[in-house]
Amino acid sequence: MKRIGILAIVVGIVFAFSAVCSFAADETGLKVTAKNGTVRVKIYPSDKWADLNVGQMVHLKDTVKTDPCDAHSKGGKYTDDKGNLCPLCGAATLELSDKSSVSLKPGTEISIDELVMNNAARKLKVNMPKGELRMIVAKVGTPSDFSVKTPNAIYGATGTLFYVSATASGTSVYVADGSIIVVDPLTGTTYTVTAGMTMTFNADGTVTGPTPASDVDVSNWTACYTPTAEPYTPADLASLAVNPPGQIGERGISGG
């Protein structure tokens, strides 16, 4: 009887531990820490879009989309001449528990293909069929595997800051800090892109770069990622009263 009692206690402890681990796994996600304009989420397995708000969590297999406003839906700059982001265009920052983050420009769609965050490993694999994103990978001792997949290339990093743009003409990357490994899915060829460099995989299969990024390149790559306090109203929306969100500045890479 005593042995049965001990066994029951052990089973109870294992069950409780499993429940805690399952809860922790379920809570693994990306938290929305900044939002501008219209941002929507498709929560797996639903096929319906819903508004995504600051403080909400995005999990494995979810899809996030940032919508440009009507005035910018067919292209054009998302900022005014002072660099202020249009308050009606969608943009967002999603942050992991270690302060790694993914930030999305207007007109971007991503899905979370893999997400692991624990003491043994950090993995974040994002699929971006279109749009532009900035990925900040915190520099910590835990083994890391962060990557962005686009129709033309796969970009991977372990501790860095980089930007990716995917359009109908191809996929480009700019590395601001550290270095990344890029894989050409057509040939399997791998490339290393280091800080200050850009590289483009064209839709026709050709590759351009890596080449040094100009000041204009850097300005274009880094614009439109965070809400600003300065109002910006497109000409055809001048009659609307717009109250833009508070300013959230660029953040540096966490860790040393």
The pLDDT tens digits along the chain (256 residues) read 444 443 333 333 333 333 333 333 335 899 999 999 999 999 999 999 999 999 999 999 999 999 999 988 887 788 887 778 888 999 999 999 888 999 999 999 999 999 998 888 889 999 999 999 999 998 877 677 899 999 999 999 877 899 999 999 999 999 999 999 999 988 889 999 999 999 999 999 899 999 999 999 998 999 888 654 333 334 444 333 333 333 333 333 333 2
DSSP code of 236? G
Instruction: List the domain boundaries for the chain.
Output: 30-237
**Reported pTM:** 0.77
Q: Which two three-digit tokens encode residue 89?
A: 């265009």
Residue 220: which H helix or E strand, with range?
helix 215-222
Which two tokens mark 192? 């290393």
Report residue 75: phi and psi, to 5°.
110, -170
Length of the chain, in residues:
256
Q: Are 226 and 249 in contact (CB under 8 A)?
A: yes
Residue 250, judged by CB atoms within 10 A of its CB (0-12, 13-18, 19+), counts as exposed
Is 30-237 CATH 2.60.120.1440? Answer: yes
Q: Is residue 94 within a helix (H) or strand (E), and if so which, with residue range?
A: strand 91-95
Q: Which helix (H) or strand (E) holds 11?
A: helix 2-27
Phi/psi of residue 26, nearest 5 degrees = -65, -30
Q: What residue type is 128 in one-letter code?
A: M
**By the 8 A CB rule, do 147 and 156 touch?**
yes
Residue 147 CA, chain-centre distance (Å), reads: 10
Q: What three-state secondary structure class fits 173?
A: strand
DSSP state of 22: H
Distance of CA 245 to CAs 35, 76, 186, 238, Å? 8, 22, 42, 18
- CB of 64 within 8 A of CB of 104? yes
